[in-house]
Structure 1
Amino acid sequence: MDTVSELLDWFQTSGGSLDRSSVGFTVFPGCGRGAVALKDIPEGHVLFKIPRGLLLSAETSSLPGLIGLDRWKEAKMHMGWVGLILCMMWETVQGPSSKWSKYLESLPKTFDTPMFWSDAELGELKGTSVVDKLGKADAEKDFTEKLLPMVQSRPDLFLPETISVYYTLEIYHVMGSRILSRSFDVEKDEDQPEEDAGDETDGVAANTSLGSAMDVDLPQEETESAHGDSEHTDGDEDAEDEEEEPSGVSMVPLADMLNARYDSENAKLFHEKDDLRMVSTKPIKAGEQIWNTYGDLPNAELLRRYGHVDLVPLPNGELGNPGDVVEITADLAVAVLQTGDDAATKERIDWWLEQGGDDVVVLESDLEVPLALVSLIRLLRLTADEWEKTVEKDKVPKPKLDTEVLAVVYAVLERRLKEYPSTFDDDVELLRDESLSLNRRLALVVRIGEKRILQSAIQKIKGQQLEAQKGDGSRKRKTRPDQEGERMSKTQRR
């Protein structure tokens, strides 16, 4: 019996419900294993139900209770993903005695994500935001300072002879990658005590800042338009995010077998009181793949989290990801303006952050200049007197995009483009090389997508500057006849 068949049998004998007449699992070229419609499926059809007891999390595993919840929190195992990773490691060691034995056996053991790339391969991602977001150093710090001390302190739970086999740094990264690529943000059961319910808002799954793979929506009877409304961001880098308790981050058997592709979602996971339900969100034809959603992420995030990229037709006829973005740091604006007063600049940046601003702004494929970038540039260009008045008003400058600010934006984008080690044309030409390794090809796709946005935005600004210059010239020409008429009138009056 193959792994999938064993998983499905385990799922159903453990209380899960699967419509086997409608849903099958197969391997799709270029996508790997995924779900397929075995017959025409109408919108709103329940494909399968997962009992909450089958979710694998730090709340459902017995390990935290065996260690002692006070000790668990004292060791900060409830912060970040380290606790869930340890639970998954421990459950793996339990073998068949673990409720999730068959599920854990079905999960991937290797990944193509940049977390496992060589230094040379990571060099291909220079200029993108991928490398800085890997969080590899922070993850290894958690492994060394949190997980290993916990494991070594309880030889009754973690047999010494198992540590070098099952509790290694390599397996730690594999478990973390499983969570990053396959976990869901799950809303807590309403019957749980309030103090354990996490931070929830309007009933939507909490803790989305921790960057798990997919979100769970509200029950259908509560909303019919919830698909894709939940937004999640990653939190590998932010220290404050690391202090949050990811009580809703769970591994969800079967649901994590669905693939995703840009703007292709036709199924969504909804939570009910006793279970989670994968429900079709539109009609699905027999033979079509059943797609979940990752939130239409840019290729940089798809590569970082899942090890693949999306290439779909763009309006200009090329292939790319319409969700691609370019991240621009505040440092670039500071470098372009060259204020010369580091202390004063730092003061303004600190104030900007206190006001809710960010040190990174996002340029999207619509090529609209980010309002936050405009506001930040105007803040950095204020005179000393203007700066004092702004602080008194306790409001950041309005994002007014005049010609002077537009010139700064232009320079910022040009500087951002130079952060890549190669040109757009070079990358496009290189992508035609069929002998490229998969990782290098993926890195090229990410770079090209970002450079396409930057170059298009720069061209757009050039056009705006030319229009502004024409407008200035037109206004000057219009004033001359009036001025001449005024002079003639004065002569006649004399």
Structure 2
Amino acid sequence: MSLPELEPFLSWFQRNGGTIDLDAIGFKCFPSTEGGRGAVALKNIEKERTLFTVPRSLILSIKTSSLPEKFGPKIWKECKLDTGWSGLILCMMWEDAQTLDSKWSHYLAILPTAFNTPMFWNDQDLKELEGTPVVEKLGKEDAERDYHDKVLLALQRRPDLFPPESIPNHYSLERYHVMGSRILSRSFDIEHAGTDDVTLEEELNNEGDRSIGSAMDVDDHNETAGAEDGSIQDGPLLEDEDENDAINVSMVPVADLLNARFGSENAKLFYEDKELKMITTKPISAGQQIWNTYNDLPNSELLRKYGHVDVLPLSGGGNGNPADVVEIRADLVLSTFLEQSGSAATSRSERIDWWLEQGGDDIFVLETNFEIPEAMISLTRLLYLSSDEWEKARDKEKPPKPRLDSQASGLISLVLQKRIAHYPSTMKEDEEMFENEARMPLNKYQALIVRLGEKRILNSTLQRLQIAKSDSSQKRKSAPPGPNVSKKKAKR
């Protein structure tokens, strides 16, 4: 079973050395809540079965496209196309402009041209994400700066490769965003051929697998290139990632047809010198979707990168994404401390600089366990140290231990309250909206899911912190008094 629009692509794939077990795997359109177009098991499939193989020659990257060679390495570097994603995006636009003369014409023809990601939302929809980190991480301004500073420069340098009349249709800013979104949502981070050999049995028996992951992961939740287990990671890198990482970003035909969902992975992509293999990691029943997920991402990242959210039953009740997180910036901790203590900003700047030099975090992540990160507690206590204590800590090069004393607990409670205030609506208002608006627009619904997931974490963490503070206070009040030692005047 395959979608009719995929048949020319699958024929091209097999003609060019790709193999696919069409008796075991098919493709269909699932509901949007299940990822849309994806792969399905046509029969019961056992663990460790190879579903398809992809020759490295069919991978689309700056290493396989002929454009960099035609362009010339010197000019390519002068245009700064050797760093970030701009080089790969230009390669994809150029290959697309070649139409049937491109090796990847059948592949490019099946890639999406429209996206539900916030990169393409209007201002009104983006307001629904206020308080979340999504808008800040879109990188739209940075991407457009790269388009003007790198890509347009490249187009002007080589009009023989990029005829001026082709620019509006094939090399516009809009096409640049489309290609960038294709990379963001579908690329993989693939190590060069010739990495240390590991047997397939060793790979599959490893906890993490030598699976491939997508190159475009984010910030504190980035997948690292080339997992230790040898698997390929799923989720692309940001434009400002390391140059070598950006070079590994690749588009992998067929592999990018598989959807992802929290806790559902049943297949992974493994690399060998000459080909990549999609192999099942557990038995799959006939009719089940085939999922390829590297790392379980929070809804804020799923929405930003892929244009969807996961809504699953939560262990504590209700529905949401068990991988949701909330980011707390260290500067919010500092500003809250300064407001409460009345200290001048310069009186703690030296401590903050030292904290960062020691490798301290500048962003703290709250998770669904509702615990305060130890690093956040340590920084809070660092701010409260007396001058003598601060000198000792610096001399020993040891930040304070993450002991949640009353000072740290009080400040962190205020920080969480301030973080909650970043959202324009309350959790109660969002819950009422979720219950009462049965048919709200998709963008509004997905933004609401992201907000609710973050607010649950913040409110539950704050509630747990306040309960712990109250319990500690009650213990102190109920503690028996110490021995009553009466002092008598000594007789002479």
SS of structure 1 residue aligned to 2:375:
helix
Partner of 2:404: 401
1:438 offset after TM fit, Å? 0.6
Q: Do residues 268 (structure 1) and 271 (structure 2) align?
A: no
SS of structure 1 residue aligned to 2:247:
coil
SS of structure 2 residue aligned to 1:247:
helix
Deviates more, 1:203-212 or 1:327-336: 203-212
Mapped to 2, the partners of 1:210 and 1:296 lie a distance apart of 11
1:232 offset after TM fit, Å? 6.7
User: Is contact 2:56–2:275 with CA below 8 Å preserved after alignment?
Assistant: yes
User: Is contact 2:298–2:323 with CA below 8 Å preserved after alignment?
Assistant: yes
1:246 offset after TM fit, Å? 1.1
Which among 43, 46, 66 is matched to residue 42 of structure 1?
Answer: 46
Mapped to 2, the partners of 1:434 and 1:256 lie a distance apart of 32
Which among 129, 143, 150 is matched to residue 147 of structure 2?
Answer: 143
Which among 10, 16, 24 is matched to residue 22 of structure 1?
Answer: 24
Structure 1 residues 261 and 247: alpha-carbon distance in aligned structure 2, compared to 1, 3 A threshold: same
User: Is contact 2:211–2:271 with CA below 8 Å preserved after alignment?
Assistant: no
Q: Do residues 302 (structure 1) and 302 (structure 2) align?
A: yes
SS of structure 2 residue aligned to 1:259:
coil
Structure 1 residues 40 and 86: alpha-carbon distance in aligned structure 2, compared to 1, 3 A threshold: same
Q: Do residues 57 (structure 1) and 44 (structure 2) align?
A: no
Residue 287 of structure 2 aligns to which amino acid in structure 1? G
Residue 104 of structure 2 aligns to which amino acid in structure 1? W
User: Is contact 1:206–1:248 with CA below 8 Å preserved after alignment?
Assistant: no
Partner of 1:316: 316
Partner of 1:199: none
1:355 offset after TM fit, Å? 1.7
1:332 offset after TM fit, Å? 1.5
Q: Do residues 425 (structure 1) and 438 (structure 2) align?
A: no
Q: Do residues 154 (structure 1) and 158 (structure 2) align?
A: yes
Provide the TM-score with structure 1 as the length reference: 0.89
Mapped to 2, the partners of 1:290 and 1:39 lie a distance apart of 12
Residue 71 of structure 2 aligns to which amino acid in structure 1? I
Q: Do residues 383 (structure 1) and 373 (structure 2) align?
A: no
Partner of 1:101: 105
Q: Output aligned runs, 1:204-353, within 5 Å.
A: 211=218, 235-236=238-239, 239=240, 241=241, 243=243, 245-338=245-338, 339-353=342-356
Mapped to 2, the partners of 1:264 and 1:17 lie a distance apart of 24
User: Is contact 2:348–2:383 with CA below 8 Å preserved after alignment?
Assistant: yes
Structure 1 residues 446 and 234: alpha-carbon distance in aligned structure 2, compared to 1, 3 A threshold: farther
Q: Do residues 373 (structure 1) and 376 (structure 2) align?
A: yes
1:97 offset after TM fit, Å? 0.9
Partner of 2:204: none
Deviations 1:67-96 (A, max 9, x none): 111221222211110000000000000111
Give identity over the alignment, percent.
50
Deviations 1:433-458 (A, max 9, x none): 02311101100000000000111011
Aligned length: 469
1:168 offset after TM fit, Å? 0.6
Mapped to 2, the partners of 1:457 and 1:322 lie a distance apart of 15
SS of structure 2 residue aligned to 1:128:
coil
Deviations 1:255-300 (A, max 9, x none): 0000111100000001011100000000000010000104110000
Partner of 2:168: 164
Mapped to 2, the partners of 1:54 and 1:69 lie a distance apart of 22
Residue 396 of structure 1 aligns to which amino acid in structure 2? P
SS of structure 2 residue aligned to 1:454:
helix
Mapped to 2, the partners of 1:216 and 1:146 lie a distance apart of 25
Structure 1 residues 242 and 311: alpha-carbon distance in aligned structure 2, compared to 1, 3 A threshold: same
Partner of 1:454: 458
SS of structure 1 residue aligned to 2:352:
helix
Partner of 2:201: none
Mapped to 1, the partners of 2:15 and 2:250 lie a distance apart of 21
Deviations 1:103-141 (A, max 9, x none): 000000000000001111111101001011000010000
SS of structure 1 residue aligned to 2:335:
helix
Structure 1 residues 154 and 407: alpha-carbon distance in aligned structure 2, compared to 1, 3 A threshold: same
The CA RMSD over aligned residues, in Å, is 2.7
User: Is contact 1:48–1:278 with CA below 8 Å preserved after alignment?
Assistant: yes
Mapped to 2, the partners of 1:425 and 1:448 lie a distance apart of 9
Residue 235 of structure 1 aligns to which amino acid in structure 2? L
1:59 offset after TM fit, Å? 0.5
1:204 offset after TM fit, Å? 8.4
1:315 offset after TM fit, Å? 1.5
User: Is contact 1:78–1:245 with CA below 8 Å preserved after alignment?
Assistant: no
User: Is contact 1:129–1:300 with CA below 8 Å preserved after alignment?
Assistant: yes
Partner of 1:197: none
Structure 1 residues 167 and 383: alpha-carbon distance in aligned structure 2, compared to 1, 3 A threshold: same
Structure 1 regions of 5+ residues with no counterpart? 193-201
Mapped to 1, the partners of 2:441 and 2:212 lie a distance apart of 39
Mapped to 2, the partners of 1:207 and 1:23 lie a distance apart of 21
1:408 offset after TM fit, Å? 1.1
Mapped to 2, the partners of 1:8 and 1:389 lie a distance apart of 67
